[in-house]
Amino acid sequence: MKGARASRTTIALKLLMALSGAVFIGFVLVHMYGNLKAFAGHDAFNEYAHHLRELGEPMLPHEGALWIIRVGLILALVVHVYCAVVLWRRAAQARTTKYVMKKHTGAIFASRLMRWGGVTLLLFIIWHLLNFTIGKVNVQGGATNDPYNLMVDTFDVWWMTILYIVAMLALGAHLHHGIWSAAQTLGWTGTAAKRQRAKTVAFVTALIISVGFSLVPLAVLAGIITK
């Protein structure tokens, strides 16, 4: 094709999707580590939250490193969502007449949840930021200035814990297919053995992340973590 550019293809969009997704994998792993500090008690959890704001000082201003990370995450989110929207629209236009009957032989369930699961995660992220970062919403109406107490107050409410568990199931499914898919898109799975390895890594990572995040809300609801 005359004037064809590699960077203008659907595969280039997929590469951006994979790279921006990789940023989130790193982020959720660190985030999960911070959350698990809740098991070490009130002071350890709050100290971690406080230390995040002091990271890089005195080389960086107060909250400097945190804002660099935030900007990076926002950029990755914009890229990830933009590519998803473009590819979703393309896929819809590629088959405007639907099959009367279509089976999904060879597909795992998680792979078919990527788009609506992604929308679910986006809505969850908005609520989650309102809950703990931007708005600081205490659904029990209590104080919001103490991160540990706000967390305990939130997950003491059973339906909030359920909401977070559902979101973690969605995240687990998204990562289960997403991590393997990113490896494939980056061209790392050129043999059957490498493909199997990537699928195993994806499954194990997704399991660790979704279980790791779910432990804290469940422990609060069970009364193991208290104020």
Partner 1 sequence: MNLTLKIWRQPDATTAGAMHTYELADVSPDMSFLEMLDVLNEQLNEQGEEPIAFDSDCREGICGMCGLMINGDAHGPEVTTTCQLHMRSFVDGETITVEPWRSDAFPVLKDLVVDRGAFDRIIQQGGYISVNTGSAPEAHSVPVPKDDADRAFNVATCIGCGACVAACPNGSASLFMGAKVTHLGLLPQGQPERDERVVNMVAQHDHEGFGGCTNIGECTAACPKEIPLDVISQLNKDLRTAIKHGH
User: What CA–CA distance (Å, rounded) separates 166 from 146?
Assistant: 25
Residue 123 Cα to chain centre, angstroms: 12
Give min distance, CB of 22 to partner 1, in A.
Answer: 14
59 vs 101, which CB is nearer to partner 1?
101
Shortest Cβ 185–partner 1 spacing (Å): 5
Nearer to partner 1, 13 or 219 (CB): 13
Cβ-based nearer residue to partner 1, 102 or 141: 102
CB 178 within 8 A of CB 21: yes
Shortest distance, position 116 Cβ to partner 1, whole Å? 13
Question: Measured from the CB of residue 153, what is the shortest distance to partner 1 in angstroms?
Answer: 40
Residues that bind partner 1 (CB under 8 A): 1, 4-15, 87, 90-91, 93-108, 111-112, 114, 177, 180-181, 184-192, 194-195
In angstroms, the CA 72 to CA 159 distance is: 32
Report which of 217, 69, 210, 65 is spatially closest to residue 155, judged by C-alpha positions: 217
- The whole-angstrom separation of Cα 168 and Cα 174 is 10
Residue carrying the six token digits 């909401």? 163
